[in-house]
């Protein structure tokens, strides 16, 4: 469905236009929120996501994916308004609670929407294009912040509200790819069987675990801990924003995920980029040099960009039931459990000593790489 893909591409672009993204940690610190409090908020958010993952997945397979997209992005828009007006810990907590509802609502649904709209053969390319356009949005908004907004964090948050208003409006023009289930009672009974089948789906569960370990570490380092690393290296707010804008360019690497996978295969991709990312975390733990700090975060950013389309494709390929959103939500549920624990550890270690958090990240990524290689070997043996 070309129309859906065009709309999804536009949504990806506007979703990336978070004008405060390069200074999000500093934005929170400016109103008195500590790093540990941020991770507490993240943990509460992940815990709520954990509770809502399966209900949202079942609901999506019952009422249709488009309705869930509209509802979720509507709440996303509201959460950005709260972030814009936030004045302390409690406000940011409410914002993250709403975001947890959004994340659990979109989990599995947005991926399924892209996968079913593009088709299996073209899905990795579609995931890559969505990632590249989201990056373009990030780059455009970061450029505006660096050139025109300076340290006006409130204006950056307001402009983000406008971006998510555009996203919300665009969802109304999507064409449904999963009609609502007419026999809801039969569907609810079948959901129990679907959950059992998904739990027995070892290839899917292994892939989810591997990419959850990698993804949450990459998220913490490139979104939260990187700013602390840059500050430790003596970089100013303006320099951090400029670096972030340059760093964002590397995320266009998503479009190269499919061609690179064809050359080195999925196993080769995992072996290279899990290893490189772990090495980058170790380097960040051992240095306060600004150039090496930027290089370490750069490696993690590129690795995440190249692996994310592959992760989305492999997980969708591994689904064996018709109720795709429910199955993927089950996988996301496992990822939420891991994220909740990892975020607390990262926050505690970062407040204690930033290098300890980076070394912990290296260990987590190596564990994820081992699980990924086992999943790929098992899949190859079964085929």
pLDDT of residue 77: 97
pLDDT of residue 147: 84
Segment (H or E) for 128: helix 123-144
- What domains are defined for the chain? 2-173+190-382 (1.20.1250.20)
pLDDT of residue 184: 47
pLDDT of residue 153: 86
CA distances from 140 to 147, 203, 321, 349 (A): 11, 38, 39, 33
Q: What is the DSSP letter of 288?
A: -
pLDDT of residue 130: 92
pLDDT of residue 12: 94
pLDDT averaged per 10 residues in sequence order, the chain, 383 residues: 90 93 83 86 81 82 89 96 93 94 88 88 89 87 84 90 97 84 52 72 86 93 91 87 78 87 88 96 95 94 92 85 76 76 89 95 96 78 51
Torsion sign, CA atoms 117, 120, 125, 128: positive
Structure-token pair, residue 133: 């356009």
Calculate ∠ Cα 281-340-373, nearest 5°.
Answer: 55
CB 49 within 8 A of CB 169: no
pLDDT of residue 174: 95
pLDDT of residue 131: 86
pLDDT of residue 185: 47
pLDDT of residue 24: 83
pLDDT of residue 307: 93
pLDDT of residue 69: 95
Count of beta carbons in the 10 Å neighbourhood of residue 318: 21
SS3 percent helix, strand, coil of the chain, rounded to 5, is: 85, 0, 15
pLDDT of residue 143: 83
CB 60 within 8 A of CB 117: no
* Residue 64 backbone class (left: φ over 0; alpha: ψ -120 to 50; beta: rest): left
Max intra-chain CA distance, the chain: 61
CA atoms within 13 A on the CB side of 105: 20
Q: Which of 31, 198, 214 is nearest to 108 (CA)?
A: 198
């Amino acid at each position: 469905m070309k129309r859906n893909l065009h709309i999804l591409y536009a949504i990806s672009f506007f979703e990336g236009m978070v004008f405060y993204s390069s200074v999000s940690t500093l934005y929170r610190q400016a109103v008195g929120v500590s790093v540990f409090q941020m991770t507490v908020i993240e943990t509460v958010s992940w815990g709520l996501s954990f509770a809502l993952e399966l209900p949202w997945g079942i609901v999506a397979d019952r009422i249709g994916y488009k309705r869930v997209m509209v509802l979720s992005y509507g709440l996303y828009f509201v959460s950005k308004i709260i972030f814009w007006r936030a004045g302390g810990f409690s406000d940011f907590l409410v914002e993250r609670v709403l975001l947890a509802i959004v994340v659990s609502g979109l989990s599995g649904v947005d991926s399924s929407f892209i996968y079913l709209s593009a088709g299996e053969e073209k899905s990795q390319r579609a995931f890559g294009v969505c990632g590249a356009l989201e990056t373009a949005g990030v780059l455009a908004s970061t450029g505006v912040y660096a050139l025109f907004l300076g340290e006006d964090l409130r204006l950056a948050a307001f402009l983000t509200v406008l971006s998510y208003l555009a996203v919300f409006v665009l969802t109304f023009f999507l064409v449904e790819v999963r009609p609502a289930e007419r026999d809801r009672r039969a569907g609810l009974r079948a959901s129990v069987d679907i959950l059992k089948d998904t739990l027995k789906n070892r290839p899917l569960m292994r892939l989810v675990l591997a990419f959850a370990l990698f993804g949450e570490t990459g998220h913490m380092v490139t979104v939260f801990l990187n700013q602390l690393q840059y500050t430790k290296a003596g970089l100013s707010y303006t320099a951090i924003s400029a670096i972030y804008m340059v760093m964002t360019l590397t995320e266009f690497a998503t479009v190269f995920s499919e061609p690179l996978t064809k050359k080195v295969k999925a196993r080769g991709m995992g072996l290279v980029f899990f290893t490189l990312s772990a090495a980058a975390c170790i380097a960040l733990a051992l240095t306060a040099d600004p150039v090496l700090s930027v290089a370490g975060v750069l490696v993690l950013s590129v690795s995440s960009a190249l692996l994310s389309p592959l992760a989305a494709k492999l997980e969708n390929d591994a689904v064996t039931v018709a109720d795709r959103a429910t199955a993927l939500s089950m996988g996301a549920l496992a990822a939420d459990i891991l994220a909740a624990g990892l975020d607390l550890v990262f926050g505690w270690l970062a407040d204690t000593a930033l290098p300890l958090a980076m070394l912990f990240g290296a260990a987590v990524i190596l564990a994820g790489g081992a699980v990924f290689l086992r999943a790929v070997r098992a899949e190859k043996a079964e085929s």
